[in-house]
Structures are given as structure tokens and as C-alpha cells.
């Protein structure tokens, strides 16, 4: 799409209203994109950065409040050490290089996951970038790093159990709201829209608690080829859906 066509698409979305506050994306397909071109897997990750830039710009332009990207999972630590080391160095390099671009787009940064498992040099770069962007007031970009949905739930349960054992919490105090306050995503609304690239039909242990009522949108497009036009297509489809949260459809009520 040309820049003019993208702007037109943005205006259509904004006129329609009902934008998702929070979009989460499972960025899948970097390895396949690279393999089809005879390139190493890390080349796919580097190519995927262009998609990240374009999607961040699109969300910031539309006024989306939160964008969460599944960047590196707990399970990814089991990949070959050479690939993991290359990814960690690429992550540090990307944070260092992209901070100014994020600042120019009024983007804040937050990282969720078992960050203590990341190399010290990555955590140092995360702290620097988060600090540099903390005064911004636009889109909050959330990077899920060393993240797994089941691990997040277990970590929350363990924290609550410790509080109960110390007498700081009672069983009756454990509500939905209290439990979610112990999750990594405390203070972030649940995703309204979950996008998965590469055509795979699974959740891959991502935001398991939070996506209970998220709308799913899956595309065959591999992540390095994903652009704002795909993001806008997903949002437009989201705007046409009726979110019932377990209730009877308002359309059916009207018909009745």
C-alpha cells in the first residue's frame, strides 16, 4: 500500500471507532522466511525488525494504547546456543538503536517475563531504554522476554502462596482482580485483539490468563513480511465483530 492508501485506511478505522485498546502479536515465521531464502535464522529475526517498526508506527498513529509483542519465550532458551547468543546480542543492538525512534513516536517501553534469566548486558540496555522513554504519553510497547504464560501464572500463584503463609493474605482475599495484580501484566488491560502470523493455529503459551476473551486474527503472512496494511486489515475485521464475553448476542436479543 502507498502512504496515501495507508492514511486513507487509517481514517476509515478512526471513523468507524471501537479501536482495540490493547493488541498482542505472536510474531511467528522469521525462521521460515530466512530458510526459504537460504539465509541463517538470525537473518529472519533482523528482517522482522522492519515489521516491528511499521506496526509500532501504525499503532501509535491510530492511538492504540498498548502493543504487546511475543519477543522471546522461556521455551526459546532450548534453541541452539549460537542462535540464542545471536538473538541476545541483536536484542541489545535493537534496543540501543531504536530508542530514539520510539521517543520520536511518543512510545513508552515495558518488559514482562523472567527478565532475571536474560544476560546482564541485555538487562542493562532494557533499563536504559525504559528510563529514556518513561516520560512519554502515547503507545506503551510491551516486550515479552523470557516469557511463558504458564510460568507467569505459576509465579503469581507462588507469590500469593507466600503472602498467605505470612498471614498477609487470606483465602477469601484471592479474587480475579487480586490474582491479575500478581501477573507480569499488572496494570495493563487484557488484549482486545490477538494477532498471529505464519498461519499456525495455536496460542504457544502466550498470555494464557489475559486472552480469555481476546478476538483472534490469524494470517498466513510470515512476520518479516507483515506490515501496517495487515495490521489495519486485522483491526478492521475486529471492528466488525461483536464481543459478547459469554453474554447473549445483542443482535439475537433484538431479533427476539
85 is annotated as an active-site residue: no
| pTM score | 0.94
> What distance in Å separates the CA atoms of residue 139 and residue 192, rounded to the nearest whole number?
15
105 is annotated as an active-site residue: no
Q: Which residue has the cell 476509515?
A: 12
Catalytic residue among 28, 105, 190, 192: 28
User: What are 105-153's pLDDT values in tens digits?
Assistant: 999 999 999 999 999 999 999 999 999 999 999 999 999 999 999 999 9
User: What are 199-242's pLDDT values in tens digits?
Assistant: 999 999 999 999 999 999 999 999 999 999 999 999 999 999 99
The domains of the chain are located at 19-148+190-255
User: What are 163-189's pLDDT values in tens digits?
Assistant: 999 999 999 999 999 999 999 999 999
Please identify, in words, the CATH class of the domain defined by 19-148+190-255: alpha beta
Mean pLDDT across 17-35: 96
Catalytic residue among 76, 123, 155, 205: 76
Amino acid at each position: 500500500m502507498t502512504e496515501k492508501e495507508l492514511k486513507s485506511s487509517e481514517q476509515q478505522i478512526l471513523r468507524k471507532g471501537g479501536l482495540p485498546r490493547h493488541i498482542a502479536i505472536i510474531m511467528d515465521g522469521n525462521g521460515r522466511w530466512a530458510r526459504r531464502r537460504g539465509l541463517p535464522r538470525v537473518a529472519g529475526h533482523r528482517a522482522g525488525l522492519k515489521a516491528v517498526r511499521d506496526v509500532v508506527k501504525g499503532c501509535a498513529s491510530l492511538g492504540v494504547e498498548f502493543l504487546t509483542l511475543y519477543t522471546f519465550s522461556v521455551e526459546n532458551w532450548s534453541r541452539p546456543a549460537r542462535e540464542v547468543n545471536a538473538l541476545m546480542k541483536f536484542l541489545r543492538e535493537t534496543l540501543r538503536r531504536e530508542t530514539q525512534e520510539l521517543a520520536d513516536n511518543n512510545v513508552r517501553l515495558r518488559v514482562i517475563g523472567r527478565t532475571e534469566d536474560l544476560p546482564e548486558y541485555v538487562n542493562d540496555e532494557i533499563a536504559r531504554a525504559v528510563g529514556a522513554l518513561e516520560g512519554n504519553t502515547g503507545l506503551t510497547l510491551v516486550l515479552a522476554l523470557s516469557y511463558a504464560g504458564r510460568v507467569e501464572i505459576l509465579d503469581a500463584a507462588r507469590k500469593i502462596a507466600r503472602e498467605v503463609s505470612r498471614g498477609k493474605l487470606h483465602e477469601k482475599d484471592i479474587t480475579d482482580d487480586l490474582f491479575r495484580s500478581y501477573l507480569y501484566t499488572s496494570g495493563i488491560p487484557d488484549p482486545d485483539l490477538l494477532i498471529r502470523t505464519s498461519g499456525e493455529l495455536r496460542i504457544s503459551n502466550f498470555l494464557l490468563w489475559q486472552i480469555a476473551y481476546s478476538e483472534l486474527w490469524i494470517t498466513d503472512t510470515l512476520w518479516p513480511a507483515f506490515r501496517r496494511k495487515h495490521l489495519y486489515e486485522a483491526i478492521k475485521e475486529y471492528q466488525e465483530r461483536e464481543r459478547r464475553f459469554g453474554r447473549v448476542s445483542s443482535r439475537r436479543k433484538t431479533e427476539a
